[in-house]
Amino acid sequence: MKPNNAKIIVVARDTSLANRIRHLPAGKNWQVFRESSIDHVLERFESDAYDVLIITNAAFKAGEANGIELLEVITANSPATEVLFIVEPRDVRVAMSALEAGAYQYAKLPVSDEELGLLVEAALAKRPEGSRRRPLKKRSRKSKMGKLTGRSPKMQEVYRQIRVAAATDIPVLLSGETGTGKDLAAQAIHQQSDRKDGPFVPVHLGAIPTDLVASELFGHEKGAFTGAEQKRTGKFEQAHEGTVFLDEISTVDEKVQISLLRLIERKKFNRLGGQRTILSNARLIVASNQNLGEVVGRGAFREDLYYRLNVFNILLPPLRERQGDIPLLIDEFLKHYNSSYQKNVQGIAPGTISVLESYGWPGNVRELKNVIQRAVLVCTGEAVLPEHLPPRFRPDRQPRPRVTFEVGTPLHEVEREMIINALAAVKNNRKRAAELLGISRRALYNKLGKYSIK
């Protein structure tokens, strides 16, 4: 393997070490990835393979996983991977333990760029002659359920909850940001349940005019309102022995909320303008990309209906929290769009995958799917290059804001200003600001209170 094809994974609490390696003279030809703690490193090695693993002792000690056991597993099962340990001077004993577990070298902080480059190049040169990097044998974890794809711990928990929900007929509330796959989770519940032979009837409530929602759900009789020229069956009738999935449930008005509450309690309803009571045997699944409890608190959603719907809540995680799932999803989308556009795009070129993995994905899986669709469409070769990505992925188009301070600025002022700027950069998303600053969300909230930042 040539050094300029090297894949390096850095485990550090913040992004500075990974960024330094990327900016080394040889770093422009390396693929550099990052994890903030050791907890998800094994998953990384199960979905991909790396030539060098660089771990800081801060990240080593911060994780919940046993770091020594992790190193022993990687060195035993991935002999083509060299492990470099970077340690604070006071933690040399930790480095000694890491060496015993399989790390080939350690360096004390601070490490200059020149020394860092030499250490990485030495690690690459030390790899056994003729050795080939291979992903570790995967543990028995499902990578798919229905049309959902993901092997991360958070998706494994979603799969478990789907199986539990499918075994009952209770209402299910699917929560999560836009684009996280709530519709796919609803389909998976239906497919895993005893109702799988019945119809799955999705209704995207946000796309229906407010005055037509009741008719869409419950149907109407001829002449029930202006324009009702013939009788129409609603979605709950169409879903006989099946499942109704109501997406964007927070958008429905008070009258429809009351009708839904009655349907859940009595298992019956009337068409608009009708006298005959119709029994409902459809299973109900709803979804919201808003926190429905907060919507209730604002008085925009009935509390009694909320408690009827929130019997079993499944939270679909955002893509930025699904460590290791992006390569799986990319492979899935490449296959799909290669077939759709009669292309032969084989994979992602060096450098492109690190760009995709370092992005925050505000649009989640849906956004990733659209990005890969565009890349396959414009790609003329066999690999997706950075120039095939939309402009927002190009660092020269959107440089990260910089903050400068005069020498002598008190540390508390520096910290306060950095927090304010981090919040502004992520549009006040507290979780992403904490990640950007390399601290826990609890620590961020403590500092917000300390500095009276709202």
Residue 172 has pLDDT above 80, yes or no: yes
Q: pLDDT tens across 350-368, in order?
A: 778 888 888 889 999 999 9
Residue with tokens 């759709």: 340
Confidence of residue 131 (pLDDT cuts 50, 70, 90): low
Better-predicted residue by pLDDT, 95 or 291: 291
Q: pLDDT tens across 221-271, in order?
A: 876 676 767 778 889 999 989 999 999 999 999 999 999 999 999 988 888
Helical axes 411-425 vs 441-450, angle rounded to 10°: 120
Confidence of residue 1 (pLDDT cuts 50, 70, 90): very low
Q: Say if CB 185 and CB 314 are below 8 A apart.
A: yes
Q: Say if CB 98 and CB 106 are below 8 A apart.
A: yes
Confidence of residue 340 (pLDDT cuts 50, 70, 90): very high
Q: Best-predicted range by mean pLDDT among 79-93, 289-303, 429-443?
A: 289-303
Confidence of residue 104 (pLDDT cuts 50, 70, 90): confident
Q: What are the C-alpha distances in Å from 312 to residues 176, 243, 284, 315?
A: 14, 16, 11, 10
Model pLDDT, residue 64: 55
Confidence of residue 140 (pLDDT cuts 50, 70, 90): very low
Q: pLDDT tens across 27-59, in order?
A: 878 889 998 878 778 778 877 888 899 988 888
Model pLDDT, residue 49: 85
Model pLDDT, residue 297: 93
Q: What's the chain's average pLDDT?
A: 85
328/335 Cα distance (integer angstroms): 11
Better-predicted residue by pLDDT, 191 or 453: 191
Strands 268-270 and 219-220: what pairing?
Answer: unpaired
Q: Which two tokens stand for residue 165?
A: 């929900």
Residue 290 has pLDDT above 60, yes or no: yes
Q: What value does the mean pLDDT take over residues 364-378?
A: 95
Residue 95 makes CB contacts below 8 A (sequence gap 6+) with 57, 85, 87, 103, 106
Catalogue the E-assigned strands of 283-329. 283-288, 312-315
Q: What are the C-alpha distances in Å from 85 to residues 52, 59, 98, 246, 297?
A: 11, 11, 7, 51, 49
**Domains, in order of start, for the chain:** 1-137 (3.40.50.2300), 151-315 (3.40.50.300), 321-389 (1.10.8.60), 411-450 (1.10.10.60)
Q: pLDDT tens across 387-415, in order?
A: 899 988 875 544 556 677 777 788 888 88
Model pLDDT, residue 401: 65
Confidence of residue 133 (pLDDT cuts 50, 70, 90): low
Q: What are the C-alpha distances in Å from 366 to residues 82, 183, 361, 373?
A: 36, 11, 9, 11
Better-predicted residue by pLDDT, 150 or 395: 150
Q: What value does the mean pLDDT take over residues 114-125?
A: 89
Model pLDDT, residue 271: 83
257/254 Cα distance (integer angstroms): 5
Confidence of residue 320 (pLDDT cuts 50, 70, 90): very high
Model pLDDT, residue 329: 94
Q: Which two tokens stand for residue 55?
A: 């771990």
350/107 Cα distance (integer angstroms): 27
Rg of the Cα trace of the chain?
26
29/4 Cα distance (integer angstroms): 5
Q: What value does the mean pLDDT take over residues 374-379?
A: 94
25/23 Cα distance (integer angstroms): 6
Residue 278 has pLDDT above 60, yes or no: yes
Residue type, 166: A
Better-predicted residue by pLDDT, 420 or 231: 420
Model pLDDT, residue 407: 77
Go through the chain and tell me how many residues it has: 454
